[in-house]
Amino acid sequence: MIVNDAGRGIIMEFEGCKLESYKCPAGVWTIGFGHTVDVKPGMKITRHQAEVVLEHDLEFFEQAVARLAPGANGNQHSAMVSLVFNIGLKAFEGSTLLREFKAGNLLNAAA
């Protein structure tokens, strides 16, 4: 399952797009729409490259959410991918949201 347009739009809006590498508040080198893998000081990319990298990053997180939260509908899946994109896979694996979703407690998961 892939992130729907609304989910992709939310990620792009909240991450913003920076075409030059920078250190995020956590001190991690970042570029484009929150991409952190192999980013070094002084890197520059185009908007198109940022969008291509975002699609690659989303594919990784989409697969992880599909594996960890099977049965999620399109909106649930997209929301979880957005969360994983923001907090990281390890944090998501131990999250209350995932635990509650797996237990079928959708109201608690949404909270």
Active site residues: 15, 24
Backbone dihedral angles phi then psi of residue 28, each to the nearest 5 degrees: -105, 135
Q: Which residue has the tokens 């998961």?
A: 109
Question: Nearest Cα to 7, choosing from 68, 48, 47, 61?
Answer: 61
